Amino acid sequence: MKIRVFASFMVLLACCFGLIVLADNHEEENNMLVFPEAYTPMKVNGGGKITGLVKFEGEVPEMKKLDINKDKVVCGKEPKFDESVVVGENKELKNTIVYLMDIVKGKDFDAESKKPEIDQEGCKFTPHVQIVPVGARLTMLNNAPITHNVHILLNDADMGQDINKSQNRMLKKLRIKGIAKAGGPVEVKCDIHSWMKAYIAYVPHPYFAVTNEKGEFTLENVPPGTYKLGFWHEVCGTNNKEPQTVTVAAGGEVKQDFTLKLPE
Amino acid sequence: MRTTFFVLFILMFSLFVVTLTSYTQEAPEVSERGKEVYEESCAHCHGIEGRGDGSAAENLLPRPRDFTGGVYKIRSTESGELPTDQDLFDIITNGMPGSSMPEWESALSADDRWELVAYIKTFYSGFQELKESETLPRLINLTGKVKYSQESVEIGKVLYTELGCIECHGNVGRGDGTSAPTLVDSWDYRTWPANLSQGWNYRGGSTTEDIFKRFIGGIAGSPMPAFEGDTFYHFGLTPEESKRAVELENKEEITPEDEAEYAKYSEKMENAIDAALDRAEGTELTPEAQKIYDDAMKVVYEKSWHLANYVKSLSPEKRPEYAIGNNVLRSQYKEGDLPTFDDAEWETLESSYYPLVGQVIVEPRQFNPTIDSVNVKSFYNDTEVAFLFTWDDRTNNTSVEETENFGQSFIDGLAIQFPVKVPKGPTDEKPYFLWGGRKPVYLWQWMASEPETIKELTAKGMSNAGLQEDQGNVQAESEYKEGQYRLWVKRALKTEDKKDLQIEPAVFVPIAFSAWDGANGDIDTKRAITSWYTFVLEPVPSSRRFIYPPLVALLSLGLLVGLRQFVQRKNT
Amino acid sequence: MKRVSLFTICFLIFIASWVFLKYVVGGLISVPIPNSVIAMYMALILIAILVHVSVEDTRFEEFIRPIHETLVDEKRSTRRVVLAVLIPILMLGYTYTNIAQKANPAGDPRVAHPVPPSEFILTHKDKEIGTMQEVENPYRHYEKDDPEEFKSHVENGRNVYYDNCFVCHGDHLDGKGHFAHGFQPLPANFQDPGIIPNFQESFFFWRISKGGPGLPNAGTPWNSAMPVWEEILTEEEIWDVILFLSHYTGYSYRSFGEGH
């Protein structure tokens, strides 16, 4: 009798422990992208296409108005809002990354995506989510006579030391060194203008898309096959635990929509 | 012959190796001893696992370092690099002024400190990886130092504005830049830009080299960016080329020749930036690229030394002497009217320096005060006494406000405390230094919301203070400018009010201060304080000092002459 | 060889005595001797010299001769003029510095440890614990009985110390906390061998729980900035921090029955 009580107690304990471990892992994985272990670029002929729409479900949070407390002449021309959840008229969700998690062979980056840029016009990072190929140099644009600092929080994603470079008012362009390791998305901020915040994903292959105002995304020239389709959103999280499976036929088009909601 | 040569060679070589190794020492292998010392002396703040979460951490700002991310503020290495062992050893040895990290030189032996370095490195795997890769972190190049001179300071001053230092550190460096109130560190805790006029609080030391290293390498984990080469305008051009390029940029009509000339400069800049980025990414540079990089950096280093010299010029060499012992505040006698708020006559006096510390005695407590000190000057005449109080505060808070990230901010203030009755001699008890106790204190309270008003209070303890019925005996005028408050106060030496302090010349009067920085959450008992100090209306130097000494001299001469006369007369 | 005159010898003895009193006895061996005491000794020495030279007439004459010569002898006119200038100037300087000297505040009386009244009743808030002579640290016995339990009390004391005390008393318990410079007298240095071994644990309990405001009226002013910790800490926390102090420094508190 006693042994049984003891045994069930131990089982209970083990379950609790297991739950804690799971919960821990859950948190760790939740906000990061998933990459293949290796990726080989090749020429893709007759690839397919994945398109879709990302929608938001639930009550749309109000976009908080940002407190523009300095350089008001340039930065405060028009009111600015927190861009962490941007939802359109028909509940389309902007700034969501949709990507292939497990592709190991496919097209190479095109010339344009190898020169990523983030503009700081009006003291706001545009785009809010930027995809940067591994090793590519990011260019920070600054057309106003305003001093910024480009502070990329790599350390939070275990990608080495943070980058924090000053971009004074005379520097129209500042180039940021390439990062050899895939990871992120990591936050980029400007300490001088505390409201400025955006995300950078350092990625090893080009099958990444960020949804536009209409919530649309397109992944083109995908070699035929079955893939895991993942998404990432700054607030709504990821589907890393239950990725969507899609099968792409040669020259075909697959439609896959997503519906995201706020985490509980 | 050959043997001698060989022996000489070996000797030279070992000498070379010895010099190299003694130049920057490296930590020993990790040992039990390091763990033991860490757990006994460091873990209460930095945590057993080095996460910066020891039991004391909660009360401290800046927070104790989290060692698990390998983020170190004070380095002699370039941006993005880990610190050297020597860097870690130096921080343990010297502590971090202005924070709660003490110096350990007096408490731990050098061996123990080295053991600690080795142990602390185990919290972050990057140190091990670096060791395995058999590379060393890149040191900041300190050669080519520009000597301190007024000329260099002037150049540095221009750069200070151009590079945007003022955004956080403010116009004259008191840490009052417009971005100062919103800064957070990499762990989202509030952080303040350094007040550059207080070199004694620079976390990593205040030599020109220290300043240069913080500037070039940045302060990791804080908002302070690295000023790497390509963050300078026209990186890659010589000063002359840069001047010419600016001319071309501002020219209205551009000829094809101009265009060609500018293209040449553009290419030069592109090449320099490419070389700098290649280097930062870890690519080995070709000799040509290395040359381009070195040439470009020469200009950058020179500018950086000028900037370091300027920052150095903002602070006195040493923390001022505290106003204790014989260094008390001496109010100077002046005939006629006392100087007003703006009077240049205040410049003729030296300030007395009163260091402030957090009020940690009565809840709620302030463990992290942001006001370093109050500086005081004073004049008096036959009927009145005037004081000028100055203190640095990075923000001007005149009302209670809700902030974006840091809760409420309150109103700045200063209170000057005296006993109601001056103790008679050194054995007579003063009131309790924290707003009185058994014996009452008399207070002048000033708030930034009413900059021209001093309220008179009587208190018998922090929770037992009340406005006096008779107000308006004290005149006040104040100003907030560039991170500093100036408060001018004037009162009659004698008042009718029995609850007031009556001030007499040549009597040593206890004085103490409380200061509130509203942006730091200071209100009520949460504040910075001093214990009792002393001030005195310095008696007018007696005019006797011009009468008696000559009299005495004459008298002694007379005595000598008289003695000679007496002896001569006796002889004859 | 010319003999050194008696006057010169006396003069040299006089100066040497002063130097001896002021710097050798006063500086090297003990604390500086007050000027009034030195003046008294010098007066005695002067009288002794005068008595010595005036015992015999010849000796007195020998002593007085150089003075006499300096005053009237034609050959000594240079020396005379020099002295006539030098002496008044010295007197002038001396009186001026005496008159123009700034008044300085009296130093605070020497800091000694307060003596609690005898048969002192130890309390925490209003709860009576017992008399100072009898109360022991209720957790001290774990040191022998239950080392694990003892360790947990010491660790709790460590947390209490670093949550509350170290800002003044220092990370290393050496009285050099980062707020220490703000206070006069300076915070206690527990690494000083004269502190922990000289007092009982109950004395520490009293000083911690009642702080500066709780010091006895006799022997004031203390001007201690020590807070009244009973308002913030529990009884157990105070006893635990007392355990931690001796654990960290390696010193043992004075136990009962040891001579004072």
> Average pLDDT of B207-236?
93
CB atoms within 10 A of CB B263: 10
3-class DSSP state of B196: coil
Average pLDDT over residues C198-221: 79
Q: What separation, in Å, do the N-terminal and C-terminal C-alpha atoms of chain A show?
A: 42
Determine which of B219, B230, B233 to mutate to test the interface with A (most A C-beta atoms within 10 Å): B230
pLDDT in tens, A68-125: 888 888 888 888 898 888 888 888 999 999 999 988 888 889 888 889 999 999 899 9
**Residue C177 reports pLDDT greater than 80:** yes
Average pLDDT over residues B349-374: 92
Q: Give residue C57's pLDDT.
A: 85
Find the range with the poorest average confidence among C17-31, C111-125, C228-242.
Answer: C111-125
Which of C70, C82, C96, C97 to mutate to test binding with chain B, by most B CBs within 10 Å of its CB?
C96
List Cβ neighbours of C20 (8 Å cut-off, separation of 6 or more): none
Per the CB < 8 Å rule, is A161 touching B228?
Answer: no
Number of domains chain A is built from: 2
CA–CA separation, B222 and B183 (whole Å) = 9
**Which of the other chains make 3 or more beta carbon contacts under 8 angstroms with chain A?**
B
Residues A170 and A77 in one domain: yes
For residues C229 and C209, the answer to whether their CB atoms sit within 8 Å is yes
Same domain flag for A210 and A82:
yes
pLDDT at B315: 95
The DSSP letter of residue B126 is H
CATH number at residue A84: 2.60.40.420
Helix (H, G, I), strand (E, B) or coil at C23: helix
- Residue B468 DSSP code: -
- DSSP of A89-125, one letter per residue? TT-BBPS-EEEESS--EEPPPPTTTTS-EEE-GGG--
Residue pLDDT, tens place only, B537-571: 988 876 777 888 888 888 988 988 888 888 888 77
β pairing state of B509-516 and B441-447: unpaired
Confidence (pLDDT) at C97: 79
What pLDDT, on the 0 to 100 scale, is given for residue B503? Answer: 92
CB pairs under 8 A between A and B: 100
Q: Do C181 and B99 touch (CB under 8 A)?
A: no
- Strands B528-529 and B509-516 turn out to be antiparallel
Same domain flag for A7 and A53: no
Q: How confident is the model at residue B153 (pLDDT cuts 50, 70, 90)?
A: very high
Range with the lowest mean pLDDT among A121-135, B125-139, C219-233?
C219-233
> Do A173 and A216 share a domain, yes or no?
yes
> Considering chain C, what is the average pLDDT of its residues?
83
Residue A193 to residue B179, Cβ atoms within 8 A: yes
C197 has a pLDDT exceeding 80: yes
Which of B330, B560, B563, B572 is the best mutation test for C, with the most CBs of C within 10 A?
A: B560
Query: Is residue B378 within 8 Å of B332, Cβ to Cβ?
Result: yes
Q: Do A177 and B162 lie within an 8 Å CB cutoff?
A: no
Q: Give residue B37's pLDDT band: very low, low, confident or very high (50, 70, 90).
A: very high
CA distance A255 to A54: 11
Per the CB < 8 A criterion, the answer to whether B70 and B94 are in contact is no
Percentage with pLDDT > 90 across chain B = 66
- Residue for token digits 């109950």? C202
What is the model's pLDDT at position B506?
A: 87
Q: Per residue in A139-184, pLDDT tens?
A: 999 988 899 999 999 988 888 899 999 999 989 999 999 999 898 8
- Of all residues in chain A, what percent carry a pLDDT higher than 90? 39
Calculate how close chain B gets to C257, using CA atoms only, in Å. Answer: 33
Least confident window among A52-66, A184-198, B114-128: A52-66
pLDDT surpassing 50 at residue A26: no
Quick one: pLDDT at residue B483? 95
Tell whether A194 and A215 lie within a shared domain: yes
Choose from B138, B231, B237, B283 for mutation: most chain A CBs within 10 A. Answer: B231
Average pLDDT score over residue span C131-153? 87
Q: Which residue has the higher pLDDT, A239 or C219?
A: A239
Q: What is the pLDDT of residue B544?
A: 73
Nearest Cα neighbor of C202 from C116, C125, C142, C141 is C116
pLDDT band at B342 (very low <50, low <70, confident <90, very high): very high
Do B425 and C106 lie within an 8 Å CB cutoff? yes
How far, in Å, CA of C68 to CA of C60, rounded? Answer: 12
Angle A26-A30-A34 (CA atoms, 0-180°, nearest 5)? Answer: 115
* pLDDT value, residue B22: 42
CA dihedral over A103, A106, A112, A115, signed as positive or negative: positive
- Residue B205 Cα to chain centre, angstroms: 10
Q: Are residues A135 and A245 located together in one domain of the fold?
A: yes
Q: To the nearest whole percent, how much of chain C has pLDDT over 90?
A: 21
Nearest CA in chain A to B72: A161
What does the alpha-carbon distance between residue A247 and residue A237 come to, in Å, rounded to a whole number? 24
Say if residue B166's pLDDT is above 90: yes
Q: Specify the pLDDT at position B3.
A: 55
Structural class in CATH, domain C121-249: mainly alpha
What residue ranges of chain C are covered by domains with CATH 1.10.760? 121-249
Chain B to chain C Cβ contacts (< 8 Å): 157
Dihedral of CA B412/B530/B346/B320: which sign?
A: negative
C221 touches chain B (CB under 8 A): yes
The answer to whether residues A15 and A122 belong to one domain is no
C164 inside 8 A of chain B by CB: yes
At residue B4, the pLDDT reads: 56
Chain B residues whose beta carbon lies within 8 Å of the beta carbon of residue C187: none
Domain of A154, in residue numbers = 35-261
Tell me how many degrees the CA angle B552-B553-B559 measures, rounded to the nearest 5.
85
For residue C36, pLDDT beyond 80? no
How confident is the model at residue B6, as a pLDDT? 58
- For A21-30, B69-78, B377-386, which range has the lowest pLDDT when averaged over its residues? A21-30
Whether B47 shows a pLDDT value over 80: the answer reads yes
CA distance A248 to A207: 13
Residues A14 and A86 reside in one and the same domain:
no
Per-residue pLDDT tens for B401-453?
988 888 899 999 999 999 999 988 777 778 888 898 888 999 999 999 999 99
B407: left (phi over 0), alpha (psi -120 to 50) or beta: left
pLDDT surpassing 80 at residue B205 = yes
Contact: C95, B552; criterion CB under 8 Å: yes
pLDDT for C73: 80
**Contacts for B167-170: CB closer than 8 Å, 24+ residues apart:** B167/A70, B167/A147, B167/A192, B168/A191, B168/A192, B168/B193, B168/B223, B168/B224, B169/B193, B169/B194, B169/B196, B170/B394, B170/B482, B170/B483
SS (H, E, C) A123-188: HCCECCEEEEECCCCEEEECCCCCCEEEEECHHHHCCCCCEEEEECCCCCEEEECCCCCCEEEEEE
Question: Could you tell me which chains touch chain C, where touching means 3 or more CB pairs under 8 A?
Answer: B
Q: What does pTM read for this prediction?
A: 0.84
Strands in B362-420 per DSSP E: 373-380, 384-392, 401-402, 408-409, 413-419
- Give the A-side interface with B, CB within 8 Å: 67, 69-71, 135, 137, 147, 149-151, 153, 155-156, 160-171, 174-175, 177-178, 180, 191-194
Is there a contact between B404 and A191 if contact means CB atoms under 8 Å apart? no
User: Across chain B, what does the average pLDDT equal?
Assistant: 90
**A25 and A148 belong to one structural domain:** no
pLDDT band at C199 (very low <50, low <70, confident <90, very high): confident
Per-residue pLDDT reduced to its tens digit, B283-308? 889 999 999 999 999 999 999 999 99
